[in-house]
Amino acid sequence: MLKRILALLAIAGTALLYGCGYNTMQAGDQQIKAAWAEVVNQYQRRSDLIPNLVETVKGFANQEQQVLLGVTQARAKVGSIQATPELVNDPQAFMKFQQAQGELTSALSRLMVVVENYPQLKSDANFRDLQAQLEGTENRITVARNRYIKAVQEYNTTVVQFPTNLTAMIFGFKEKPQFTVENEKAISSAPKVDFGKPAAPAPSPAPAPSPAPAK
């Protein structure tokens, strides 16, 4: 009799957990971890391409030290942040990671603008290959971020909606941080430079002073 009662209680408990959203939140948490792992993987792929890209540009445009240094420093800042699975539970750490990746994106955009001034570099086969890999990686980053955004949106909705929010409070499920960049569309687009406009004329040199009359 006791075994039958325990079995019935177990069945009732399982049904209760299923109906209150517990399993949904557990599944959502796992989906977020998988989506986050893919985001990190694609960001790491981009980071791995940068040293070769910088060295290639340096071979043709060594005078662009400020831009090259900016890319290198931004990459180093990204590398200093440990993108562990636990990072998605820490809004402050998540924001720092996001800001560092945004700075690296901006630095790479500035580098691509500089490249426009060096036709020989643009025609170099090694550079073209690196550029193609970088563009492909940026596309994969966008896809991975969108998957993460969707997974977090679905999970957070379950966490805050009634009655599943009661289960969330009992078992400690909390909202996950989301990618939120102000004017992200503008930031993610490389700056546009119109090389068709004529350059401003250089100022005429000042006339040389007349020699003093001989006494």
Instruction: Indicate whether 122 belongs to any domain.
Output: yes
| Number of domains composing the chain | 1
CA 197 to CA 192: how far, in whole Å? Answer: 13
50 — pLDDT class (breaks 50, 70, 90): very high
Asked if 49 contacts 39 with a C-beta cutoff of 8 angstroms, the reply is no
Domain span holding position 96: 32-155+177-188
Instruction: Indicate whether 56 belongs to any domain.
Output: yes
Tokens of 148: 């993460």
Instruction: Indicate whether 20 belongs to any domain.
Output: no
Model confidence pLDDT, tens digit, residues 124-174:
999 999 999 999 999 999 999 999 999 999 999 999 999 899 999 999 999
Flag whether pLDDT at 117 surpasses 70: yes
CA 71 to CA 172: how far, in whole Å? Answer: 40
Tell me the pTM. Answer: 0.74
CA 28 to CA 157: how far, in whole Å? Answer: 10
Instruction: Indicate whether 160 belongs to any domain.
Output: no
Q: What is the pLDDT of residue 20?
A: 79
CA dihedral 161, 166, 172, 176 (to 10 degrees): 10
| 88 three-state secondary structure | helix
CA 19 to CA 17: how far, in whole Å? Answer: 6
